[in-house]
């Protein structure tokens, strides 16, 4: 079921069990991406990631990506910016969410890197998908999103 935001009700359910969420955040035709720290003890060290991360208690998937985008890129997503949400299973079988949002490209001037990651960039989806340092599960999810949104 979908609500007035157009995303599934499950993405707004704080009682739903999931481990985290990522967002394909479009500023115009480009995606906001972050290069992960190069620490061998974290998942996907040094690779290019999408905003998002682990769930905090009481959050639903939309809350999670709003908070993580603020922490990682100092951008304030609004619920109405998000137009797509789909659950997946990660490599350990936990539910994770993949969302997509669009914001004004002028917001690029407000981006500041938070306290995680080596840097940020804006890439076209094609550039992210072709990049040798993309995160494979996110690239697959992005590809699925692009195939249904066009």
Going by pLDDT thresholds of 50, 70 and 90, the confidence category of residue 3 is low
pLDDT at position 1: 54
Q: How many helices (H) and strands (E) does the chain have?
A: 3, 7
pLDDT digits (tens, 9 = 90+) for 5-18: 668 888 988 889 99
Quick check: 104 pLDDT over 60? yes
Alpha-carbon distance of 111 to 92, in angstroms, equals: 32
- H or E element at residue 63: helix 61-73
- H or E element at residue 52: strand 52-54
pLDDT digits (tens, 9 = 90+) for 49-66: 999 999 999 999 999 999
Alpha-carbon distance of 130 to 80, in angstroms, equals: 30
């Amino acid at each position: 079921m979908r609500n007035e935001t157009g995303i599934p009700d499950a993405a707004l359910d704080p009682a739903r069990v999931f481990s985290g969420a990522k967002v394909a955040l479009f500023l115009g035709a480009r995606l906001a991406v972050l290069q992960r720290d190069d620490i061998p003890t974290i998942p996907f060290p040094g690779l290019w990631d999408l905003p998002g991360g682990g769930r905090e208690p009481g959050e639903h998937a939309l809350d999670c990506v709003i908070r993580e985008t603020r922490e990682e890129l100092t951008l304030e997503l609004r619920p109405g910016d998000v137009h797509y949400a789909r659950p997946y299973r990660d490599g350990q079988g936990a539910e994770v969410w993949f969302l997509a949002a669009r914001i004004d490209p002028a917001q690029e001037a407000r981006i500041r890197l938070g306290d995680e990651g080596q840097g940020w960039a804006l890439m076209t989806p094609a550039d992210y998908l072709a990049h040798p340092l993309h995160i494979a599960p996110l690239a697959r999810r992005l590809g699925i999103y692009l195939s249904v949104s066009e």
